[in-house]
Amino acid sequence: MRSSLMSLLLVPIATLAQAPDTVFLEDLTWTEVRDLIDNGTTTVIVPTAGTEQNGPHMILGKHKYRMNAGAERIARALGNTLVAPVMVYVPEGSIDPPTGHMRFAGTISIPPEVFKSVLEYTARSLRVHGFTHILFIGDSGPNQRPMQEVAEALNEEWVEGKTRVLYISDWYTITDFEDWLRKRGETDEVLGTHAGLTDTALLLAVAPEHVRSDRMSPGKGMDVDGVTGDPTGATAELGQVGMDFAHEASMKQIRELMQED
């Protein structure tokens, strides 16, 4: 036993290490990223999420878990694609006086101009390293317009170069999922617009441990408990359908935009 242990200790560390099976930029070393870029991994996803109240039954980081799961799936489907660290500080309402989600404990909000600046310099950093397609994908409503504006501005500036910023709006368009739920008999009052059945089902599909099932109840309204809709009928199976809709819509839009380059 001692001889075997000593033999293992004598093996150079380099021979024990293996490149991780990951698409997440933060889980790689700089040399691993460099080598991936040199070998054709020149697409990168910049996911945006948020830190906001999601009723008494869902964690503040709901968007982060949904976005990371979605971004990883997209990256693996595209191939030669990495995922930058998800942005969890985004516009969530005014701070003084508090508006929107800022009226609930734990929410963190930054001004749209600050969010746009972070997006811009994230894209500039990634361009320097050799990424040629930078995909902005967001899982929260207030993120959408700033992502579009930054993408348009950088593409105008970089028109003579080979790097493009693609704003992927169809990830957050859940109309098809909601129509599918309505055909099953769900009403708009049940689906809700925040932390209701739709919202809750999506998180159950990717991170069920972050849903407090014993605290789910019909929402009392955004001004009371932060919930519109009724999450009690949400299931992981329903949420997976929604994640599939979002994935398929995003992949279609990405491929169409890349063909335009």
What's residue 248's pLDDT? 97
Tally the domains of the chain.
1
Residue 250 lies in a domain: yes
Q: Is residue 5 part of a domain?
A: no
120 within domain boundaries: yes
Range of the domain at 138: 21-260
* Preceding omega of 56 cis (within 30 degrees of 0): no
> What confidence score (pLDDT) does residue 174 get?
84
Q: What per-residue confidence (pLDDT) applies to 5?
A: 53
* C-alpha 251: how far from chain center: 14
| Domain assignment present for 224 | yes
CB atoms within 10 A of CB 168: 22
pLDDT at 240: 98
Residue 10 within any structural domain of the chain: no
Burial of 180 (0-12, 13-18, 19+ CB in 10 A): middle
- What local confidence, expressed as pLDDT, does residue 175 receive? 87
CATH number, domain with residue 213? 3.40.50.10310
Select from 248, 216, 211, 212 the least CA-distant residue to 229.
216
Q: What is the pTM of this model?
A: 0.91
Beta-sheet strands, E only, within 87-224:
133-138, 164-167
Q: Is residue 11 included in any domain, yes or no?
A: no
CA distance 201 to 232: 10
pLDDT by residue for the chain (261 residues), tens only, comes to: 555 555 555 555 444 457 689 999 999 999 999 999 999 999 999 999 999 999 999 999 999 999 999 999 999 999 999 999 999 999 999 999 999 999 999 999 999 999 999 999 999 999 999 999 999 999 999 999 999 999 999 999 999 999 999 999 999 988 899 999 999 999 999 999 999 999 999 999 999 999 999 999 999 999 999 999 999 999 999 999 999 999 999 999 999 999 887
CA distance 73 to 215: 30
Could you tell me if residue 8 is inside a domain?
no
User: Looking at the domain assignment, is residue 245 inside a domain?
Assistant: yes
